[in-house]
Structure 1
Amino acid sequence: MDAFEEILKVTSVSKSYGKLKVIEMISFDLKKGESIALLGPSGCGKTTLIRIIAGLIDEYEGTVDNKAQRIGYVFQEPRLIPWRTVVENLKFVSEDEERIFTILDILKLRDFANYKPSKLSGGMRQRVNLARALMIQPELLLLDEPFASLDIHLKISIISDIIDRKKDMNFAMIVVTHDVREALLLADKIYVLSDKPSKIVEEIDVSGIPKNISNPEFYKAESEILSKILGRWSG
């Protein structure tokens, strides 16, 4: 797949549960190596949309043309097998121990390789969740609000790991979040979603914003986006 080649095209996707319409006519595309954020209020249907993209929901209106052969999915909760160690959890994805320990080294998890999930902190469990998604060397990485239960220091640390791995592996990425800071740190482009039924109400190019929360330009962009979306989300 060539650089800048389209890896995903979402066209007029809508989803209802009975009479409740959750998503309405959402369209966007994603190129190889590009990162986008789907930024919307809690409960607006973001997880439903990303599950449609991942192929976990197959009944919907519209079309999803996904050319990625390898898709990594980082869920809101780690979903690790509790009676298996970190290494054993990763072996469900690949038996390649060299690759497993390379990923564990990168994510600062080698010292915890033989721990079971109950012995790990929430941040460590989410790092294992990320390691599992990276084990397949994804062409497309989907992040479904994976930092929601983490404190700010852990969140920034794991986001930094993701940014570094993206530089190395050049995967495309979609992050689902209600947090402007997460969206700015991880995305080249932000699609702002409305409350249910969720629609794209704004597209914001943030590729030129420094990915550094202490940079004045980052702070300015964060404030401007917050000002825009608070009015939309509050009615």
Structure 2
Amino acid sequence: MAGNALKIEKLSKSYGTLKVLDEIDVEVKKGERVALLGPSGCGKTTILKIVAGLTRPDGGNILLEVSKIGFVFQEDRLIPWKTVCGNLEFVSSDTHKVEKVLKLVRLWDYRNFYPLQLSGGMKQRVNLARALLVEPDLLLLDEPFKGLDLEIKAELMNEILRMCRSMSITALLVTHDLREALIFADRIYVLSPAPARVKNVLEIDLPSEHRDFCDTKLLDKEKEVLSQGFWLPFGLPESPLRSK
């Protein structure tokens, strides 16, 4: 059995008098894809920032067994006056590596485009390419599909899943969408509203060929999860394809 890539123990965090994390425990094994599912503002992004070393916790432990971490932020954070290539070369001067990564995310033909010339999905692909430049063992994904229409969201998610499988990357996704979590993750940690606590842990055994927004087996899995007494603390997921 694979060892842990990441183990979070009793993680706590407050901003002034506002407590956002309350003794969070999460395990991510090497090669796994895990989702943190919870409402907006519950502290999911704070967990990723603590794991990445961008924010200090008030209590608890972060045990990392990885050498490199890639972070795909919710916002594209691209430099508007630099091309796609220029944005990546700002991170790495290795032009061969930049070319390889852009081909992996299928953006090589757009290498000389500027951010304003790209769609939302393409900007997020640049984000993904930038994170892959460091050749991460662990990929942190902060709601990378937020604000994208369903077709682009599905395309980008398939792209990320393909990368994780082909490159054996461990991934931790933050989302507020149950269906996104079901498609992406091997295991889902359901968080309560702030101060966030782990309310449920779901093991997801769904073959890769059925991890699609429109797949009937995925819809059945969603119904099964809900029928077994699993209730999101913030209501059912918003999705235009959720069956009635």
Report the TM range for the smaller structure's normalisation: over 0.9
Q: Identify the residue that residue 219 of structure 2 maps to in structure 1.
A: 219
Q: Identify the residue that residue 177 of structure 1 maps to in structure 2.
A: 175
Q: Matched residue pairs, number?
A: 231
TM-score under structure 2 normalisation?
Answer: 0.89
In the TM superposition, what is the alpha-carbon distance from 1:99 to its structure 2 partner? 2.2
In 2, Cα distance between equivalents of 1:144 and 1:213: 19
8 Å contact kept, 2:154–2:213? no
In 1, Cα distance between equivalents of 2:150 and 2:214: 14
Identity of aligned residues (%): 45
Q: 1:208 aligns with which of 197, 206, 209?
A: 206
Q: Identify the residue that residue 10 of structure 1 maps to in structure 2.
A: 8
In 2, Cα distance between equivalents of 1:197 and 1:80: 32
In 1, Cα distance between equivalents of 2:150 and 2:40: 19
In 1, Cα distance between equivalents of 2:47 and 2:122: 27
In 1, Cα distance between equivalents of 2:213 and 2:122: 23
In 2, Cα distance between equivalents of 1:114 and 1:7: 36
In 2, Cα distance between equivalents of 1:55 and 1:175: 17
Q: Identify the residue that residue 137 of structure 1 maps to in structure 2.
A: 135
Q: Identify the residue that residue 242 of structure 2 maps to in structure 1.
A: none
Q: Identify the residue that residue 229 of structure 1 maps to in structure 2.
A: 231
TM-score under structure 1 normalisation?
Answer: 0.93
The more displaced of 177-186 and 101-110 is: 101-110
Give unpaired runs (5+ residues) of structure 1: none
Mapping for residues 62-73 of structure 1, pairs under 5 Å: 62-73=60-71
In the TM superposition, what is the alpha-carbon distance from 1:172 to its structure 2 partner? 0.7
Q: Cα distance 1:226–1:126, how it changes in 2: closer, same or farther (>3 A)?
A: farther
Say what the alpha-carbon RMSD is for the aligned residues.
1.6
8 Å contact kept, 2:154–2:212? no
In the TM superposition, what is the alpha-carbon distance from 1:179 to its structure 2 partner? 0.6
8 Å contact kept, 1:141–1:171? yes
Mapping for residues 148-187 of structure 1, pairs under 5 Å: 148-187=146-185
In the TM superposition, what is the alpha-carbon distance from 1:160 to its structure 2 partner? 0.4
